[in-house]
Structure 1
């Protein structure tokens, strides 16, 4: 089942960045090594989701389309989800063809102020968090505009 998801790539160890992603390592949902969030640099769109989250399902097509553009790196975090097998099914069915991590213990909750999914984090080239969008993305235009405005990339 996990073979259907994009495997997580190995990431080079980097120093944590001020105002960057938390220094937390999460296991890969689709196979591959654990990923230390503080190692990541942008332009990156990181989406926190869960298969039981209706708004996450609503915004999934916009994230899938952005991923297909190849203009920014994409990473998903399956958050507080007791059914990883359903999460894999959701991500593959929705065409979320990028790596996904799992955070069963809500280890990113405090650092990213996660009230619940969905939440989308825009990470700049230097690794700093450029913007955090709480709640559902309501259109492709909204997501593309945030990528342009916050990361300087035109999808």
Structure 2
């Protein structure tokens, strides 16, 4: 005899439960949605980044055999993102990080090569959680060429990177002609590698 009464009580509670659930869900979504959509696509400018060389815009090209990976990386300074597969040489690409001691050791050789202006250059700040220190590193070391950021190690597999430093030499057709793994030990060594592989 009491079953209909329970049924009526349950049916009265259902709208209240639904309303309470809806309110709780709205609060949860509001808390999760504090960031504007697409906010992560425009990173906060890093102090001093405007002092770095701007990344150039590059025409879109089909990937070539033996080319750099088809990965697009954001510029550390100003300028557009760069799709690595679009790049053509002669070009020297140096993979570095501000926390990497050997990267500091070889930086003067790269800075001198950039001053000579005999070949295009691009730096890749790799697996580096501190963009403000990366900007300081590039500025302090006089690395006056453009740099992009690979925080997620997107190029690791393609270039078989165990860790920085690594220097890749790209020929005029966009193929990776040679990869030097480890620290560059002299200006003569770097100049010779450019002469042999970046043509």
**Which bin holds the TM-score, normalised by the shorter protein?**
over 0.9
Structure 1 segment 1-155 matched on structure 2, within 5 A: 1-152=48-199
Q: Give the whole-Å Cα distance in 2 for the aligned partners of 1:151 and 1:98.
A: 16
Aligned residues: 152
SS in 1 for 2:102: helix
Shift of residue 149 of structure 1? 1.2
- For 2:90 and 2:129, how far apart are their aligned partners in 1? 30
Runs (4 or more) in structure 1 with deviation over 3 Å come to none
- For residues 70 and 16 of structure 1, the distance between their equivalents in structure 2, rounded to whole angstroms, comes to 26
TM-score relative to the length of structure 1: 0.97
Q: CA deviation at 1:150?
A: 1.3
> What is the SS of the residue equivalent to 2:122?
strand
TM-score by length of 2: 0.76
- Structure number with the bigger relative contact order (C-alpha 8 A, sep ≥ 6) is 1
Per residue, is there more helix in 1 or in 2?
A: 2
Structure 2 distance, partners of 1:149, 1:33, is 31
Give unmatched runs, 5+ long, in structure 2.
1-47
Match of 2:21 in 1: none
* Cα shift readout 1:8-49 (whole Å, capped 9, x = no counterpart): 011100110110100000000001100000000000000000
Q: Please give the root-mean-square deviation of Cα atoms over the aligned residues, in Å.
A: 0.6
Gaps of 5+ in 1: none
